[in-house]
Chains A and B, each alone.
Chain A
Amino acid sequence: MPEKFDVVVVGAGPAGTACALTCARNGLNVLLIERGEYPGAKNVMGGVLYRQQMEDLIPEFWMEAPLERPVIEQRFWMMDKESVISFGYKGLEWAAPPYNNFTVLRAQFDQWFAKKAVEAGALLINETVVTECIVENGKVVGVRTDRPDGEIYADVVVLADGVNSLLSKQLGFHKEFRPDEVALTVMEVINLPKEKINDRFNLEDNQGCTIEIFGDSTKGNLGTAFLYTNKESLNIGVGTTLSSMIKAKLKPYELLDYLKNHPMVKPLIAGGESAEYLAHLIPEGGFRSVPKVAGNGVVVIGDAAQLVNAIHREGSNMAMHSGLLAAEAVIEAKNRGDFSESSLNSYREALYNSFIIKDLEKYKDAAHTFEKYPQYFKEYVPMMNQAASKFFTVDGTPKRDKQKQIIKNMTSEKGTLRVLQDLYRAWKAVK
């Protein structure tokens, strides 16, 4: 007699754990399946955890969760080969509760979060791969695992199996992703004493800084780099769309080493000791790549549903919120005793009415625009650096003449019309 649960959740990342936690709190019989040795063993992110969606699940989680530093400063760099244009925001309101976001190390954080789901009553089994969904009469009725006699039945299967989501592909919810729908990102954790981090980034204990780096950080390819401060380490990483990586024939780890040796970056990480190297895909197809998210007896959440806002580097918060919305839909479905697609579509409706899909919809053309027109990263970042250098170098030229010269340089290279077209196109993609 095979075992049957109300809900089987595949994947103990932020999405799956949020869903399992919420279902278990509401009295459902929940099994959470993780393929890694422990939750977090397979999970990677740059490192920013947003407070709001986490607090919706666990009020005042910062009192007990394993966090690194609350982020009080966010910097943005437009970097050329030997220069950088920098802007950002630092505010002490982010240094006190309720905070805005935190840097975290996922292997620790995910274990803690999954423990919360277990404490709420969910059953967690690690080291178990779900090999396929069991489909009977057009309805998902359970999962098959790689354990002996590993068939498990459930009213609802929640697919939180991450960016590669082989399971939602198996169900035909989406085709194989194209190389321009995913970003290949590599990062290193570099240990550095707390005092050095505080000095170099102008921080005090329990204050963190994030830097997003555009331009030469990816050698002008579509992507970004980042440098985040943990308590006693830095996360430094870089990624581009897989299609850009292929087109430019880039080796991702060489790009990472290029970044680490960049004269604008090198002094910040100098003397550090590499502690871990990680590679991962980020689903960056946006709105147009979101697959079908609800079917008969099944819902899809988090990275598996491509819920990432690459422009604002939001992902884990969207994962958690989609997990919460899916759980609410499953609880309603349980009350109705109806787990059909039309019943579970209340998750789809909630998702599409939430900030998640609204934000993805806002930027639906961004990835495509910047992929198709590479000049923004390749040409405009260096151009702006040259303009800034010219404008701020005091050489006796009157400022008005400098301005004219800068504008002339930009338009003579590309033509006034091209520049205006480029500006309009970029504005349209992010407006």
Chain B
Amino acid sequence: MSTKNIEEKQYLLRFKCDTKSHLTVLDHDICMTQCPDKICTIFCPAEVYKWEGTRMQVGYEGCHECGSCRIGCPYQNIKWEYPKGGHGIVFRLA
């Protein structure tokens, strides 16, 4: 079957998860009070960011490490590092 939604797409992937997040929202208040669009929850290609009413939930385990959130956050509010060596996403094909 060809995938129909992001959950099915993410399910195709292999991740070697670190225990510590390589993505950090620096100030959750900025998301709450200054950022009505919460645009990272829309453009992130892996739906890593989810707004949970008062804080940003960061599902770093499914991150593709593309860098979009770091560049696209209108408030430069995301600290973005690489996962520890050998961790994170493991592409097997393309």
Contact = CB atoms under 8 A, between A and B. Distances in A.
Q: How would you classify the secondary structure of chain B's contact residues: helix, strand, loop or mixed?
A: loop
Nearest to A106: B94
A103 to B, nearest CB: 10
A274 B9 contact: yes
A129 interface: yes
B85 A43 contact: no
Contact of B66 (A107, A166, A281): A281
Contacts of B10: 277
Interface stretch (A34-42, A72-80, A91-99, A323-331): A34-42
Interface residues of B, number: 42
Contact of B86 (A47, A127, A279): A127
Contact of B64 (A45, A163, A275, A280): A280
A245 B45 CA distance: 11
A242 B4 contact: no
Given A182-B71, A272-B2, A44 B9 contact: no
B43 A250 contact: yes
B12 A106 contact: no
B28 interface: no
Contacts of B45: 184, 186, 252-253, 279
A36 B72 contact: no
A164 B94 contact: no
Interface string B1-30: 111111011101100100000000000000
B42 A273 contact: no
Interface residues of A, number: 58
Interface stretch (A172-180, A353-361, A362-370, A400-408): A172-180
B90 interface: yes
A105 B68 contact: no
A348 interface: no
B94 A45 contact: yes
Contacts, number: 142
A336 interface: no
A41 B88 CA distance: 10
A126 B65 CA distance: 17
Contacts of B16: 37
A106 B91 CA distance: 9
A45 B37 CA distance: 30
Most buried by A among B42, B45, B46, B92: B45
A188 interface: yes
Contacts of B12: 274-277
A245 B66 CA distance: 14
A246 interface: yes
Contacts of A29: none
Given A128-B85, A146-B84, A242-B71, A278 B43 contact: no
Interface in B49-91: 64-68, 70-72, 76, 80-86, 88-91
A257 interface: yes
Interface in A132-180: 145-147, 163-164, 166, 176-179
B42 A276 contact: no
Contacts of B94: 44-45, 47, 105-107, 187, 189, 235, 276, 278
Contact of B71 (A106, A178, A252, A276): A178
A276 B93 contact: yes
A55 B11 CA distance: 37
Interface of B: 1-6, 8-10, 12-13, 16, 37, 39, 42-43, 45-47, 64-68, 70-72, 76, 80-86, 88-94
9 contacts: A42-B91, A107-B91, A128-B85, A129-B84, A184-B43, A242-B72, A246-B72, A277-B3, A279-B66
Given A166-B81, A251-B42, 14 more contacts: A36-B86, A37-B90, A41-B92, A42-B88, A42-B91, A145-B85, A166-B82, A245-B72, A249-B39, A257-B4, A274-B1, A276-B92, A277-B13, A281-B66
The 5 closest A-B pairs by CB, nearest first: A127-B86, A279-B45, A277-B9, A279-B64, A127-B85
Interface of A: 35-37, 40-45, 47, 105-108, 126-129, 145-147, 163-164, 166, 176-179, 182, 184, 186-190, 233, 235, 242, 245-246, 249-253, 257, 260, 269, 272-281
